Amino acid sequence: MTSSAFGEDPTCEPFGKTKDGQAVEVYTLANKSGFSAKVMTRGATLVSLMVPDKDGKLADVLLGFDDVSGYESEDNQYFGCTTGRVCNRIAKGKFSLDGKDYTLAINNEPNHLHGGLAKALDKAIWKAAPYSNDKGQGVKFSYTSPDGDEGYPGTLEVTVSFFVPAEQNTISISYTARTDKATPVNLTNHAYFNLSGEGSATVLDHMLRINADKYTPTDDTLIPTGEIANVEGTDLDFRKRTKIGARIESIGKTAAIGYDHNYVLNAPEPGAKMTLAAVLVDPVSKRRMRVMTTEPGVQFYSGNFLKGQKGKGGKTYAHRSALCLETQHYPDSVNHENFPTTILKPGQTFESKTSYTFEIDMPAPGVKSKQ
C-alpha cells in the first residue's frame, strides 16, 4: 500500500473509470504510526483503513473493492460511501414540506433508501481538494446536487472532509451543506467494519457497546412508528459490552433479520461537542474502535444482506462478516415531528462530524477497560 509521508499532501492515484468514462481517483491519508485511510472521488467513499493490532500488525478493517468497477457492480452494498441526500429510509418515498408534496424513488420496497438511485450522493463524482498541515492530512470533497435531483427540492451544496491526525489513529469525517430551498438533509458514511480484517469470516465474535438507553421501534418495513422506547429488557440492549452474536438469532427472526436498528444516543458529557456513540472491540486482535459524533442517533447494522461477494484481493464477504455504525438523524425524520428535524433552510448551514478512533484494548491489571 502506498502511504503519504507526514508533512506532504496526500498521495493521489487513479482508481479506474466509471461505466460512462469518468476518471476516479483515490487519495491516501497517513500518519506517523503507519495508520492510513484511502478515500475515493466516487461517492466520497472510504475505501480502506489500515489499522495496527496488539502486535503492531496492520490490517485493512473495511470492506470494499480494488477499483471503481466493483463499486459500480451489484456486489456493492453502499460500502464506505457518503449516503444521501437523506440516508436511511423515508416511508413510501413521500414527504410534505411547506405545503408541497414530494415523491421519491422506491428503492427499498416499499420505501425510499439512502437518497435514491442514479443521482444519489454515493454515485456522484466529487471534486477533491487534498491538504496537509502540522496536525495531519486530509481531503475535502465537494459536490453540488441540482434542484430536483432524485425528487428532492433545492440546489444542495455539500462538502465531506476526511482527516487523519499525525499523532492519533483516527479518521474524522466532517460534513457541511447549504441549500437555496428548504429540503431534508441527513448524511452519513456507510463503512462496513471487521476489526479482524476485511474478509474475516464473522463479526459476531466482536464486542459492542452502544451509548444509548433508547431506540426507535419500527414496523415490518423498518420505518419508525414514532415511539422512542427503552432498550432495557430487550435484545437491543448494548449499554454494556456484549458479544454481537449473543442474541442475534432472536433478532434474526424479526423483520430486520438481524440488527438494523436506530439507537437514540445519550446526551454528550457536559461541555463536550461530541458524544460517544459506540465502542467496538475485536477480542483476538485487540483492536478497539471508538465512535464519537455530533449526531443524535446511530444505526447499527449487522451485515444481514452480505452474500459472499468477492471484495478486495478476491476475499469473500460472508453473511454477517462486517457491521455498520452509521451516525445520523433518525430514519424517516421528515415524517415525524417528534424527532430531531432534518430540514435545512436557506441561510442555514448543515454541519455534522463523526470520528472513528482506533486503540489497543489492553487494560492494565486491575483496571477496567477504557470505554
Q: Return the active site residues.
A: 190, 326
Q: How far apart are CA 274 and CA 222, in angstroms?
A: 27
- For residue 74, how many other CB atoms are within 10 A of its CB? 7
- The single-letter DSSP state of residue 329 is S
Of the candidates 330, 272, 274, 324, the one whose C-alpha atom is nearest the C-alpha of residue 297 is 330
Would you report the helix, strand and coil content of the chain in percent, each value rounded to 5?
5, 40, 50
Positive or negative, the CA dihedral 342, 46, 195, 269 is negative
Q: Which three cell numbers stand for residue 63?
A: 470492506
Rounded to a whole number of angstroms, the CA Rg of the chain reads: 19
Q: How far apart are CA 181 and CA 175, in angstroms?
A: 19
Give exposure, 93-104, as e/b (b: 16+ Cβ within 10 Å): bbbebeeeebeb
Whether cis (ω within 30° of 0) applies to the bond prior to 288 is: no
Residue with cell 472491540: 281
* Three-state DSSP class for residue 334: helix
Residue with cell 415524517: 335
Contact status, residue 186 vs residue 216, Cβ threshold 8 Å: no
HSE of 183, CA atoms in CB hemisphere, 13 A: 32
Q: How far apart are CA 331 and CA 184, in angstroms?
A: 12
Pairing type for strands 343-344 and 316-317 reads unpaired
Pairing type for strands 275-281 and 207-210 reads antiparallel
255: which residues sit within 8 A by CB, 6+ positions away?
Answer: 218, 219, 220, 221, 222
